[in-house]
Structure 1
Amino acid sequence: MSSYSIKDLEQLSGIKAHTLRVWEQRYNLLKPKRTETNIRFYDDEDLKLILNVALLNDNGYKISKIAKLSLAEMKAEVLKMTERSFAYDDQIHSLIITMVELDEERFEKIIATNILKIGFELTMLHIIYPFLSKIGILWQTGSIHPGQEHFISNLVRQKLIVAIDGQMYSGGGKKFLLFLPEGELHEISLLFSSYLLKASGHKVIYLGQNTPDEDLNSVYEVHKPDYLVTVITTSPSGEQVQAYLDSLSDRFSTSQILISGYQIIGQDLRIPPNVHVMQYLKDIKEYLVSLTHVA
């Protein structure tokens, strides 16, 4: 079972911690537990409850009315509401609940409905990726169980692979080599980059996660790509990142390198001339606008 601080609940639900405390006292909505050292925490059931409350409250339900609903009534109202609402925040909240409950069927229904309504790309940019960003922070701080994160990541990964397979290369465009450094396993952003590049008519050579340097060098020599794309979430980390950036820049000096990830964004790094930092996943989409589009 995962444990959450009130700040975790605030981040996931969008309801301020002060408001949550007021609701807790006035309506007895939440019943925090305490550790042996008397530190307050909340469990999965508390998170599901407050997410349902947030969804209803955001859609016009008064908190005084919500507090009178049973858990079954609240869940029924939320299911009806999310099936007719396509607000991004509502869909993200629903996905968080599927993660907590490990509900694959519900996850598939939410994603399929949104893809049908707004398309795969917008579903990724506005729903799945913000959702993954929320749970990624909690995973790194140990607030959620690794099994929950793996459950969701693998479902998203399956969706991306199917979408990528549907994009056929017809020649032309630029050549991109996509890889993750040795020890790096967080592949979602790289897979979506592959989808965007192929959908824009570019050639993609995909090496994936945990790519040894010697393999990267060998493939580079064969294909001589115009661009390299990578994401550094956990590896290399800290003081190793600068040396790794410098090494990439030197080894592949005739190519442009597009890079992103937790270890890159917002860090005090010296960025070599042929390296372009992507602040957000959507940046690669915007970067492609500057290239010749291939129908």
Structure 2
Amino acid sequence: MYSIKQVAAMLDIPTVTLRAWENRYSAVTPERTESGYRLYTDENVEDLRWLKEQVEQHQTNISEAVRMLKENKAKPPQPPESVMPAPLTTPVPTMEEAYSRMADQIYDSLYHFQGERANGLIDFGFTMYGYDSMFYHVLVPILVRVGDAWEQGRATVAQEHFMTQLISQRFYQFFHLFPIYPHLPKVLALCPEGEHHQVGLLLFSLFMRKNGAEVLYLGANTPEEGVFPIIREQKIKLVCLSITNPSLSEKSDRLIDRILSEFPYMRFILGGKGYERNKNAAYPDWIMPENSSDWQAWLEREYLTENPLRTQN
């Protein structure tokens, strides 16, 4: 849920315009707190984003744009013919089956380098299931499946790179969607030198952004010499490291030791199969759960209780 000030900043729409669109045209109907403050849902934000696009890019007046929006929302969503999912069967599938079916179709498109079809399916999935459900129940399982296929020789390096890059681009689009709370410490996210798989790091960085933290994302194969100036100049207080290869854990631990020697206040979050599979990890308390559904509870238990990332009201 977002306040009117947050929505105004996210969409670059003045708060007075948001109120006018609501009061005069019933563009969206945000929820209200007991004190009467507006609270906007993700759906409200996307509807407002669409209205702004119609007004600014297509020169549609706001009343007509609102009418079009309501007509579109009254109709059941239909995917483009070229990306039509397989017809529903009887009985109606469960949500898990629907997610799996969508994931299979996107994976098959990516596997055969059909990027346009894959993007069309992803867009349709966002419409049908919402952003969170698509990310965690469809796109993340695809990324896991891609990694497994590459490790087992069922996907070429080119296929793995193509599939990972396209989905990663969809994640990047949402980095700037969420508001940043200035009182929270900056987070640095990276894979150490030698680690080329960054999907888990990207997903966790998006998770941290949703919690209101500003994340400086360096990505895969980050040279060590570039890390220290950023920590110093940007006043980083929390470093996220991700490795998929357990053989890199000692190298990563040495990097942590060197960071701590210069910045003893630093805190760390460690993730990826390289840490999860390492039974002799030097810093086991900093290793996050493998299941993304457990991240929020873990973050609150291990970090928010000591207030490094607590959102202030």
TM over 0.5: yes
Once the two structures are TM-superposed, the CA of residue 246 in structure 1 deviates from its matched residue by: 4.7
Native 8 Å contact 1:257 1:275 kept in 2: yes
* In 2: Cα distance, 1:283 partner to 1:109 partner: 30
The answer to whether the 8 Å contact 1:176/1:229 transfers is yes
TM-score for the superposition, normalised by structure 2: 0.61
- CA gap of 1:180–1:118, structure 2 versus 1, over 3 A, is same
Query: What is the root-mean-square deviation of aligned Cα atoms in Å?
Result: 2.8
1-side partners of 2:222 and 2:118: how far apart?
31
Matched letter for residue 231 of structure 2: Y
From the superposition, tell whether residues 197 and 77 of structure 1 become closer, same or farther in structure 2 (CA, over 3 Å). closer
Match of 2:311 in 1: 293
**How many pairs were matched up?**
216
Query: Do the aligned partners of residues 146 and 229 (structure 1) sit closer, same or farther apart at CA in structure 2, a change above 3 Å counting?
Result: same
CA contact (8 A) 2:230 2:236 kept: no
| 2:127 equivalent to 1:113 | no
Higher relative contact order (CA 8 A, sep 6+): 1
Kept after mapping to 1: 8 A contact 2:238/2:267: yes
C-alpha separation between the residues in 1 aligned to 2:105 and 2:239? 35
Question: Is it true that 1:245 corresponds to 2:218 in the alignment?
Answer: no
Between the aligned partners of 2:233 and 2:193, the Cα distance in structure 1 is 20
Query: Could you say what secondary structure the match of 1:258 adopts?
Result: strand
Task: Give the stretch that moved more between structures: 104-113 or 264-273.
Answer: 264-273
| 1:286–1:246 CA distance, 2 compared to 1 (3 A) | farther
Any runs of at least 4 consecutive aligned residues in structure 1 with deviations exceeding 6 A, and if so which? none
Partner residue in 1 for 2:212: 201
Tell me the residue number matched to 2:203: 192
Paired residues of 1:182 and 1:211 also in contact (CA < 8 A): yes
1:129 has 2:169 as partner:
no
Listed as ranges, the matches of 1:54-65 within 5 Å are none
The match for 2:149 is: 138
Which residue identity is paired with 1:81? L
Aligned counterparts, 1:162-181, within 5 A: 162-181=173-192
1:210 to 214, 221, 224: 221
1:80, distance to aligned residue in structure 2 (A): 2.4
> 1:228 and 1:81, CA in 2 relative to 1: closer, same or farther beyond 3 A?
same
Q: Which runs of 5+ in 2 are unaligned?
A: 1-82, 305-309
Corresponding residue to 1:81 among 60, 72, 88: 88
Identical amino acids, percent of aligned pairs: 21
